[in-house]
Every structure is written in structure tokens, then in C-alpha cells.
Amino acid sequence: MPSILKILLTLPLRALTWLGGQGTRAVAAIAFIAVAVPPLGALLRPYVTEAILGLLCISFMRVDLVALLGHLRRPALIASATVWTTIAVPLIVGLLAHATGLDKSSPGLFLALMLQGMASPMMAAPALAALIGLDATLPLVTLVTATALVPFTASLFASLFLGGMLGISPLALGAKLLAILAVSLIGATAIRWIFGAEAIQRHKRPIDGFTILILLVFASAVMGDVAHDFVADPVFTIGVVLLAFAVYFTLLTVTTLIFRRAGYERAFAVGLMVSQRNLGLMLAATAGALPPTTWLYFAVTQFPIHLAPYLLTPIARRLTARAQASTVAEPT
């Protein structure tokens, strides 16, 4: 009997360890599961905020602050990447939307693109960069600086471009973002204090598996209505999906080209981080009170977010191999 109990107790840990070992395959599968099982989305939608807090908490928990401070050796590059993702991206999106009249012709889509531009990078972006074989140091440092600034920059751009489109004021948006990030950071600090950094590192795989489960909760809650939207208006839904992919890969490509002087491997890692925007944070800050078109765009952005790491792995491996070959070839 004790042996059976022991097996039953270790099964969840083994399952999480196995799931964490699936890497990009599991991340890609999430998007298809979320669309294929709409009842799962209806069941999990009330837990969107909790899922976002969980993802943020896990990401903060895994940050080694001592190592992070040690990586601040290239402040100019970090500052440039931070300014690009927190100020330049939302400013360019806002100006282009006004220039093309998108804010008038499709307010819901304009709101979605602005919230996407104003959002900080996903907390999981450095982990995804590492998962496909890239050096995650620069994305991690930039993520921390960008996340610290986003409550203030998001409030600023909401005032400049959104006016009364949001259900809350720009200042309230910034305050809610700050509160969400603070709660996540406090929770992560408490976990690190109780269990220790060594235990967290030792249980990396099961933590990865738990992260994938939380990603499934979030993706299912957000993407639960995509199949219904496709049946109702397939042309419009396909158009929104194509737009989501276009925005993702445009951000990835342009960022990589801008930062190519730092080396294509680093530039590609920063591009991956910039293209993975934390829309969940914006959903939590606005309490999900968004127009249907905005919800649809948020939902379909999960396709490039979950599929791109799997698709981009061969490119990342080639860039890493080239960077390593260059390092070996350098004269000592």
C-alpha cells in the first residue's frame, strides 16, 4: 500500500517533467487544442487573470537577480532595445494607424494593435529564446527594464492615441499594470525565499510542464470562440489571422535588422522578444472589457506566438552555430 501511494504521489511530478521536456512541440500544440475544444475555453475563461498572474510569477521566480546585474555590461544596447520595444513600437503603430485611417475604419482592430504595441514583451520570451537555442541574456535584461517601464509608457500612449476607447482611464490602466506586476514579483520573491534558487533550478522540467499547463489555460480562455468566429465570418477571421502573423514577423524582422550590429544571434533573440507581446497583461489590466474584434485579434495572435518558436528553431540553430564558429575563429 505505501508503494502504491508513493507512485500516486509521484505521478503528477513525472507527468509535469514529461510535459516540460516536450518543449516547442507542446507550445505549438496548445494553439490547436484551444481552438479544437471550445467548451474548454468557456470553462477556463473566468481564470484568465489567475493564469496571467501565474505566468508572471513563474517568470519572475526564475530570474537570477545577481546574474541579471552582472549582465548589465552593455547598457547602451540594453537601453536601445528597451526604448525600441516600449516607445518606438507603440509610437510607430499609433502613427501608422492614424495615417491609414484604421482608427476610424476599424476601431476594434485599432485598439487591439495599440494594446499590442503598448504591451511589454511576454515574460516567457527569454525562456522561448533559450528553448530554441538562442542566448537569452539580452532579451532577459531588456524584458526586465521594459516591464518596469510599461505601466508608465502604456498610460502615456493610451492618453495620446486611445482617448475614450478604453473602459478605464490611462492612469488607472498604468496603476493596474503596476499592481499586477508588483503582486507577481512579491509572490515570486516569496517562493524563491521559501524554496531557494537551487531547488527551482533542480525542478526546471516540472516547472516548464506547469508553465505549459498555465499557457493552455490562457490560450483556451482567449481562443475559445475562434472556431465560432470562423464559421460566422471566415473571410474576416482569416484576414485577422494573416494580420497577426504579418505583425509578428514584421516586428521580428525589423528588430533583427535594427540590432544586427550586435550580432545576428543576439539581434534575432531580441526580435523574438519584441514580437512576443504580453497581451495577457493588457487583458488583465482592462478586465477583458474589450470589443469583439479586439478579442478576436488577441485570440489569433496566439497562433504565431505558439507556432513561431517551433518554426524558427532551424534558423536559431544556424545563427547560434555561426556565432560559435566566429568565436572559435577569432585569434587569441
Q: Is residue 184 part of a domain?
A: yes
Flag residues of the chain having pLDDT under 50: 1-2, 4-9, 328, 332
The alpha carbon of residue 328 and the mean position of all alpha carbons in its chain are separated, in whole angstroms, by 33
Q: Is residue 327 part of a domain?
A: no
Q: Is residue 271 part of a domain?
A: yes
Dihedral in degrees, nearest 10, Cα atoms 144, 145, 147, 151: 150
pLDDT at 275: 92
pLDDT at 5: 40
- The DSSP symbol for 63 reads -
What residues have CB less than 8 Å from 176, skipping those under 6 apart?
A: 168, 284, 285
Is the pTM for the entire model greater than 0.95? no
pLDDT at 199: 84
pLDDT at 245: 94
Q: Is residue 12 part of a domain?
A: no
Q: Is residue 190 part of a domain?
A: yes
Q: Is residue 14 part of a domain?
A: no
Measured CA to CA, the distance from residue 309 to residue 24 in angstroms comes to 6
Question: In terms of residue numbers, what domain contains 116?
Answer: 23-321
Query: Which domain CATH number covers 285?
Result: 1.20.1530.20
Q: Is residue 174 part of a domain?
A: yes
Q: Is residue 75 part of a domain?
A: yes
Helix (H, G, I), strand (E, B) or coil at 221: helix
Tally of domains within the chain: 1
C-alpha atoms less than 13 angstroms from C-alpha of 234 in its C-beta half-sphere: 1
pLDDT at 31: 80
Measured CA to CA, the distance from residue 56 to residue 180 in angstroms comes to 9
Adjacent-strand bridge partners of 121: 277
- Contact status, residue 173 vs residue 150, Cβ threshold 8 Å: no
| AA letter at 110 | F
- Classify residue 175 as exposed, middle or buried by CB count within 10 Å of its CB (0-12, 13-18, 19+): middle
pLDDT at 6: 47
